[in-house]
Homo-oligomer: A and B are copies of this chain.
Amino acid sequence: MKRTVAYLGPAGTFTHEATRAFFPEDDVELVEYPSIPDVLDAVDAGHCHYGVVPVENAIEGSVVLTLDWLIHQVDVLIVGELVYPIAQCLLVHPFQAGRSPEEWTRVISHPQAVAQCRLYLREHLPGAEVSFAESTAEAARQVKSRPDEAWVAIGTRTAGELYGLHVLEEDVQDHPNNFTRFIAVGKEPLPKRNRDPELHKTSILVTLPSDYPGALHQVLSAFAWRQLNLCRIESRPTKKGLGSYHFFIDVEKDWDPVLMAGAVAEIEVLGCHVRRLGSFPCYRVSQGAKPIVR
């Protein structure tokens, strides 16, 4: 039986490219879902074995919808991580390809892709109105559907190929070293891989007992004196009011029954609520690597 992997569609987005790289095996079927909540719900309900969603971008920071849905709506484990390079392209209809920069009237993309290219757009396409689409691939589809308009989509090279668009410019994001961190979620660990992971991590969600001076400091102490490196701390609202937060904490260590278990037991006794979100292998795709096609 094929294993199924839910991913945030449509086809041609960075999540689609990353999911192919995450699950290159032949016996895997990729299933497209229209939103991050839908992907996570599909795994939680058992409709798919795994799901892949973005969790953090090097420039824009956390994908808060992923974090919030994991906290509040589903009970799934993080089973793997993939860091994937993001190269934004300007995609235009082939009929429009000869235009000069000031003639483009509209730029369409996902709000996060627009944010990643803000300075570039200000400088190079000052006359273009910005409009938002649900995804970079949807933006490409809109540009393809209007051959008579001087419209530009921001998206992947893959979306350009998929929709038969002309690549006007590559790597238009304002900052180099633009990577996105994707997570795979599931109810059981990833199957064994041929390649070795770069490292292992453990993700936990910590809710402080109440707002008192030094509470977070006390939590961090339990990890610091054990020399457990925290590679990420991200606060998210509990949604109970301003000033009340959950903390996503990523520890650069696989789960172990002494150091990790000891730190967690201590902060629980101090009154924190701790939820283990998973211990998992982390992989990375280098910048300039060709997208996997299958």
Contact = CB atoms under 8 A, between A and B. Distances in A.
Contacts of A231: 211, 243
A239 to B, nearest CB: 5
Main secondary structure of the interface of A (DSSP, over half): mixed
Interface stretch (A15-23, A88-96, A220-228, A268-276): A220-228
Contacts of A260: none
Nearest to A178: B239
B229 A213 contact: yes
Nearest to A243: B231
A216 B220 CA distance: 8
A128 B89 CA distance: 31
Interface string A181-215: 10000000000000000000000000000011110
Nearest to A252: B213
* Chain B CB within 10 A, most for which of A179, A232, A242: A242
Given A115-B65, A227-B214, A243 B232 contact: yes
Interface of A: 37, 56-61, 64-65, 83, 111, 115, 118, 130, 132-134, 175, 177, 179, 181, 211-214, 216-218, 220-221, 223-224, 227-237, 239-243
